[in-house]
Structure 1
């Protein structure tokens, strides 16, 4: 199996919405990399501290599912609202916005 190469580009027009910057900010507020292992989603602290917003424990899948549903409802996304449906919804919205299929594949990590 060939390794997938997915590219992400900096959003210089809207830096506050730049995926790369948001990921870097998130990583900077997570526990140190030595305690992360293979965890990406961490449990948020009830009260944030200076440069620490998350506990060292991973967020459970039920909490993630509840959060996804709440965020989708707030964003006006209708239909199926699961952790795994987000990529599909994003691909649909990009296609409806006339984004090229190649760019959609690069953004969602799906190979044609």
Structure 2
């Protein structure tokens, strides 16, 4: 993980904290005044396709000014998805909050998931 952050994104001084995840291995990356999430996936055609689709959705959602969504950070080579040793990587901006799997799924929360 450290080599990916240094080589692909040019980050030199940072702290890593493991986070929960569903289909990826996630790390919170604290770097000065900026905070990111580094996500690692198994490199498959299906995963690449899903990540391309997620990136496209995040780009559209990022245009909504009244909501906060993670932004995908390009590498030094201007790539949004990187590959190394059979793994895929993405770096996204970090949004403070609770992991959905760790909180109570109240009716109010469930309804709010579909409201824009």
TM-score, normalised to structure 1, is: 0.23
Determine which structure has the larger strand proportion and give its number.
Answer: 2
